[in-house]
Structure 1
Amino acid sequence: MFKKSLAAALIGAALVGLAPLAQAQDKVLRIVPQSDLKILDPIWTTAFITRNHGYAVYDTLFGVDAQGKVQPQMVGDYNRSADGNTWTFTLRDGLAFHDGKPVTSADVIQSIKRWGQRDGLGQKMMAALASMEAKNDKTFVMTFKEPFGLVLEALSKPSSNPPFIMPKAVAETPADQQITSTVGSGPYIFKADEYRPGEKIVYVKNTKYVPRKEAASGTAGGKVVNVDRMEWVVLNDAQTQANALANGEVDMIEWVPSEQYLALKDDPKIELASPVPTGSYALHLNRLVPPFNNAKIAQAALMAMNQEALLRAQMVHKELYNTNPSIYPTGTTFHSTKTSYFTGKPQFEKAKALLKEAGYKNEPIVFLYPANFPAINKFPPVMAALLKQAGFNVDLQSMDWPTLVTRRAVKKPASEGGWNAFITGWGLADNINPMFFAPMTGNGEKGWFGWTSDDELEKLKGEFLKTSDEAQRKALATKIQERVYDAAVFAPVGEYKPLTAYRKGVVSGLVSGPVGVLWGIKKN
């Protein structure tokens, strides 16, 4: 009783604090986000919460519709030369930043350059570029040294990380430093003066934003905002989230906690929807520091994987998860059953033998544990137990999700504030293509957190980029998958069905697509 009363008191206090501002607006959409927002730079992390913030505040040159097709967004017209090496883009009319200044080619070019220093596909594209120049304020030209097969796919990349367009002065911030300005050109304006990490994040409608005329679909089409104000109400406890929605204190839960699935499903006042496709989870290892800088020790960790046990603990209900030992989503073009030694099932004896062969010295494995993040907080204790069964010494360290997102960027040894392993979630838009998936890198410290160095993986990815033949791409995608396991880059935990919950008869208009977006939503 005390716990329930305390939770009610806490949420009541939080929502009362929002009341004066809410009364001043005609329509306020209150959403429980999947986690707190502490990193505002959209290229500085692949965390979905920062990506979602990016889509609210910024715009992109191209989008991806619900059918997975690339569509122009900020771009009005574009063409490619006959040899495929030169691309000319012209921005559409009406584009302006939140400070009233027009979006120009110079802003676009600098934004792409900055993004291209952090994103894996962006790095490949920048390496292939001969030049990127502005013809005038609205037209810019990209010239490649040789045909680059994923130009539009790169410029429309929907997740991890999208190439958002920001003012040139902001985009001149070094890529290894976070931006301090949130001026964008997107459909929402971020209210920095009301930003309260751990409590609420506030956006207001950008009344000067000019949406495209096409219907909204995925990250493409008209980004029409139908509310005056959007508030992200940060509630970490799953029960508190469900109570707040049932009581009408919030309008929507972005990511339904699995333990509240049945209660919300059975509530006649609540609607459940899946606006985004099946996602996946993955185990990531720090290959830069001991002991996982030894490939055999890293392989032993992957052999401890028990997808069924992990997914059952996190997702609870069988209809919400699916085991899949492939790094690609089930039913998609590059999905393959050729997974080298990895099965998604525990191989404890083989793991122990590898540890002995590799000379593992019982060093503690610092496993990052986001205890208050309902979307993934059941995984770490189970994975820690599996690793112990395989012969590892595990140090499970509890923290909140924003702290984990910050700490995973630390390259120091675990004993000096670094880390060895963590589990996170991905969307179908991330791993549907080997060139899209952020952790699928072998370029060491230039790559995603974990920093695997593997020339063979990078060679295979380079070959994938150079061919447009689908049969060759599929064969290469399979080789890339096998190499990911042989090099112990990461391991899939399995797939999940993402669910959003909202108040029936109050909220409508959710836009379906590769990632969750927050335009188009109506509140009655």
Structure 2
Amino acid sequence: MKPICFSRTLRTFALSAALAAPVLWAQAQTLTVVMQGGLRVMDPITSTAFLTRDHGYMIYDTLLGTDAHFKIQPQMADWKASADGLRYRFTLRSGLKWHDGAPVTSADCIASIKRWAEVDSSGQVLLPMIDSIEAVDDKVFEVVLKERTTLLLEGLAKLSSRPAFMMPKRIAATAAATPLTEYIGSGPFRLVRAEFKPGLKVVYEKNKDYVARSEPASWTAGAKLVGVERVEWIAMPDAMTSINALKNGEVDFIQQVPYDLVPMLEHQKNVTVQVLDKLGSWTYFRFNHLHPPFDNKLVRQAAMAAVGQEDVLKALVGNPKFYRTCAAVFGCGHPNGSSYGAEWVIPSDIDKAKALLKEGRYDGMAIVVLQPTDVAIVAAQPIVIGAALRKAGFKVQMKTMDWQTVVTQQGNQKSPQEGGWNIFATAGLLATSGDPMTNTTVGSNGRKAWAGWPDVPAIEVLRQRYVRSTDLAERQSIAVELQKLVIDNGVVAPLGQFLIPAAYSTAISGVLESPVTVFWNIKKSAK
């Protein structure tokens, strides 16, 4: 037997370790994520899509944040209000830079606020209440109100959809209806534009110039400390592929786990399954009010009566521990929640639907229902809706596409015969749906409203009353009135509430519970 040469063995081991170390370091510094779908729509002001919003939180920042106690906190700026509540002075904190190295200025923020307010449901109500918004110097600007309102701070701190993200003035000068072509923010991550593959892959790198706040991270407030060098969003349309990739350590995080696949991960030693948004979401469908047949209130009511929430939730979720039926536009369990309409919004009442169709003189024209096929959380609703409408006597045409195409189609105001739509379904956060300003679906100012474009002046009058009131009992009374108007006019058709499980590798820590998916505060260890 030949003697073992320990010096050679040690040299070989040392070389192997040296070669492996950079690989392990690179793995530990890159967070690989499977989001709900592939990102294509990147402007978080023109779009209300959650995926686009999540992208916004990666690269942009907000003047104010909202913590887990629903308290508004300073983020990019602190503020002081005058004794009469009409003058707000915002002071940008030190060290804020855009990703191109330029300093963040008051002029940038003013331009960003104006672009956001053009299209946001809160901003549109706020804008007429502002007397002036002017820079004092490069770091200080003032907003002078015509009347007292809590909406200024609430709007700038809103979580979703369409948060008031700050952008450089030259970018924010783009008309709000025109999608951006340049994506520069001041947030904790930078977009790696050269590696962006629409619908397939998005890469973000740590913004080493980002100066975080000192407070603990809480929802969108506090310290946004980045613990990895890169975050890669990759699209995996096949859910089973993403589940196996997580089990095998090939991906680190799945934003939304299909409910029927949760049992495959619950007992995996290297995987954590967790509901990160404890308040949950609600799902609903929207009508196009501009074109027949849903320009007729009776026909909208017929469709709402036809669709049963339990049918939708069974198809979407399946497991009752993750869902509940609910007719409240502002959320069951919320102080503004109301059960008005529950007797015909929650169950499927085909006879009522048929009677309403007859009264509304529906002529049998085809109903175009947008049907996304690649995002599980919005794929089941159109199928159930379509089946229920057919039972009631509607002629239904399902129009299949990926979710990001649905997002772009939502803003199409042309008739269905010219490429538009009649119905689409989506979901919203309960954390931001509890009042008529942050709840995007309630706005009813015609073509200025969110997709569907309902025009119900009485709703707008009540929204104005709500925002001017500081009395909780009065606000709750207004919310009850709004529930009745929203349901009776078919502004939005509630389909119930649900929780969404996420899953992630035990190699990562610091995952925040939050209504929005955020990737700061996360660290990853080498495998």
In structure 2, give the amino acid aligned to 1:115: W
1:361-440 map, 5 Å: 361-440=363-442
Please say which of residues 203-212 and 283-292 is displaced more in the overlay: 283-292
1:172-183 map, 5 Å: 172-183=173-184
Please say which of residues 209-218 and 142-151 is displaced more in the overlay: 142-151
* RMSD of equivalent CA atoms: 1.5
Give the match for residue 207 of structure 1: 208
Q: Is the 8 A contact 2:75 2:222 kept in 1?
A: yes
Give the match for residue 348 of structure 2: 346
Q: Is the 8 A contact 1:340 1:482 kept in 2?
A: no
Distance in 1 separating the partners of 2:352 and 2:187: 52
Please say which of residues 246-255 and 261-270 is displaced more in the overlay: 261-270
Please say which of residues 205-214 and 373-382 is displaced more in the overlay: 373-382
1:128-147 map, 5 Å: 128-147=129-148
In structure 2, give the amino acid aligned to 1:129: I
In structure 1, give the amino acid aligned to 2:480: T
Give the match for residue 8 of structure 2: none
Task: Mark the CA change 1:248 to 1:404 in structure 2 (over 3 Å): closer, same or farther.
Answer: same
| TM-fit CA distance, 1:327 | 0.9
Give the match for residue 480 of structure 1: 482
Q: Is the 8 A contact 1:294 1:358 kept in 2?
A: yes
| CA displacement, residues 168-220 of structure 1 (integer Å, 9 cap, x when unaligned) | 00000011101111110000000110001122100000001000001100000
Please say which of residues 251-260 and 168-177 is displaced more in the overlay: 251-260
Alignment length, in residue pairs?
A: 503
| TM-fit CA distance, 1:408 | 1.3
Give the match for residue 333 of structure 2: 331
Distance in 1 separating the partners of 2:137 and 2:437: 31
> Does residue 97 of structure 2 align to residue 96 of structure 1?
yes
> Does residue 482 of structure 2 align to residue 495 of structure 1?
no
| CA displacement, residues 441-469 of structure 1 (integer Å, 9 cap, x when unaligned) | 11011010000011011011111011100
- TM superposition outliers: structure 1 runs of 4+ over 4 Å: 20-26
SS at match of 1:377: helix
Task: Mark the CA change 1:25 to 1:270 in structure 2 (over 3 Å): closer, same or farther.
Answer: closer
Q: Is the 8 A contact 1:238 1:259 kept in 2?
A: no
Q: Is the 8 A contact 2:327 2:342 kept in 1?
A: no
In structure 1, give the amino acid aligned to 2:174: T
In structure 2, give the amino acid aligned to 1:165: M
| TM-fit CA distance, 1:253 | 0.1
Give the match for residue 458 of structure 1: 460
| TM-fit CA distance, 1:507 | 1.3
Task: Mark the CA change 1:79 to 1:23 in structure 2 (over 3 Å): closer, same or farther.
Answer: closer
SS at match of 1:376: helix
| TM-fit CA distance, 1:341 | 6.4
| TM-fit CA distance, 1:340 | 7.3
1:75-474 map, 5 Å: 75-76=77-78, 78-276=79-277, 277-339=279-341, 342-474=344-476
Distance in 1 separating the partners of 2:274 and 2:498: 14
Distance in 2 separating the partners of 1:141 and 1:334: 32
| CA displacement, residues 51-79 of structure 1 (integer Å, 9 cap, x when unaligned) | 00000000001101111111110013x11
Q: Is the 8 A contact 1:340 1:485 kept in 2?
A: no
Q: Which runs of 5+ in 1 are unaligned?
A: 1-19
Structure of larger gyration radius: 2
| TM-fit CA distance, 1:368 | 0.5
Q: Is the 8 A contact 2:32 2:251 kept in 1?
A: yes
Give the match for residue 4 of structure 1: none
In structure 2, give the amino acid aligned to 1:116: A
Q: Which runs of 5+ in 2 are unaligned?
A: 1-21
Give the match for residue 16 of structure 2: none
| TM-fit CA distance, 1:330 | 2.2
| TM-fit CA distance, 1:304 | 1.3
Question: Normalized against structure 2, the TM-score is what?
Answer: 0.93
Distance in 2 separating the partners of 1:23 and 1:301: 55
Distance in 1 separating the partners of 2:398 and 2:497: 24
Task: Mark the CA change 1:157 to 1:443 in structure 2 (over 3 Å): closer, same or farther.
Answer: same
Distance in 1 separating the partners of 2:378 and 2:465: 35
